[in-house]
């Protein structure tokens, strides 16, 4: 019986998501307004720390490397399935957003309010997908450092979401207000 190397496969999944993001940079619209450079730098540092804690070996020392669940191939495969599902959902949302996307909170030239596809389920479906993917990776690796990294990523996403919500309310005051009442931020029907 051939068994899948779950940890390596998870790495390839995240690399695939990164490749889609890099290619997508070429198709973004010109930025008209954005968050300040200082807040962007802080958010990038938070995300980098969180993602490194979830997915790299750098923090797998001491108590951060201690497992919070017993090692189990079934749990690792479940984690892989969640990682793949989350990354695919984030990619779908990224493609739906098209040229309006940016790595920072921005308003683009000719910005459109996207409310179809994944955006009909959550206002920030890219983040929903990333969180699901990070949850799956955390489950697959099963270490406390991953849990801490996931918590740090949540904080970073909440900070970035607040910046994006502010810009969207300024840009589409009536339409975005209606959208906010109709669609939850991250988890359909819950949050």
Q: State how far the Cα of 84 lies from the Cα of 90, in Å rounded to an integer.
A: 10
- Which residue segments constitute the domains of the chain, with CATH numbers given? 37-182 (1.20.120.1630)
Phi, psi of 107 (to 5 degrees): -120, 130
**101 close to 119: Cβ distance less than 8 angstroms:** no
pLDDT range class, residue 163, cuts 50, 70, 90: very high
The predicted structure's pLDDT at residue 2: 60
- Decide: residue 145, CB within 10 A, 0-12 exposed, 13-18 middle, 19+ buried: buried
> Which two three-digit tokens encode residue 46?
């938070």
% residues pLDDT > 70 (the chain): 98
Q: What is the mean pLDDT of the chain?
A: 94
> 108-120 pLDDT, tens per residue?
999 999 999 999 9
> 126-159 pLDDT, tens per residue?
999 999 999 999 999 999 999 999 999 999 999 9
- DSSP symbols for 9-30: HHHHHHHHHHHHHHHHGGGPPP
User: How many residues are there in the chain?
Assistant: 191
Strand partners, 67: 143
Q: Is 189 left (phi over 0), alpha (psi -120 to 50) or beta?
A: left
Question: Across the chain, which distance is largest between two alpha carbons, in Å?
Answer: 58
> 56-69 pLDDT, tens per residue?
888 888 999 999 99
Q: State how far the Cα of 13 lies from the Cα of 17, in Å rounded to an integer.
A: 6
Strands, DSSP E only, in 125-169?
none
Residue 52 pLDDT more than 60? yes
């Amino acid at each position: 019986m051939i068994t899948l190397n779950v940890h390596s496969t998870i790495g390839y999944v995240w690399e695939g998501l990164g490749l889609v993001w890099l290619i997508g940079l070429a198709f973004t619209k010109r930025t008209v307004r954005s968050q300040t450079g200082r807040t962007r730098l802080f958010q990038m540092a938070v995300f980098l720390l969180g993602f490194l804690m979830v997915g790299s070996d750098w923090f797998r020392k001491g108590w951060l490397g201690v497992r919070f669940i017993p090692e189990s191939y079934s749990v690792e495969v479940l984690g892989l399935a969640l990682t793949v599902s989350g990354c695919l959902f984030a990619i779908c949302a990224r493609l739906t957003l098209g040229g309006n996307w940016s790595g920072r909170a921005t308003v683009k030239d000719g910005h459109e309010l996207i409310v179809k596809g994944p955006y009909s389920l959550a206002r920030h479906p890219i983040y929903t997908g990333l969180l699901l993917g990070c949850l799956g990776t955390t489950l697959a690796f099963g270490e406390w450092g991953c849990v801490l990294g996931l918590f740090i990523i949540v904080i970073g996403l909440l900070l970035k979401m607040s910046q994006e919500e502010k810009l969207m309310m300024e840009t589409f005051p009536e339409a975005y207000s209606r959208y906010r009442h109709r669609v939850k931020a991250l988890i359909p029907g819950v949050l």
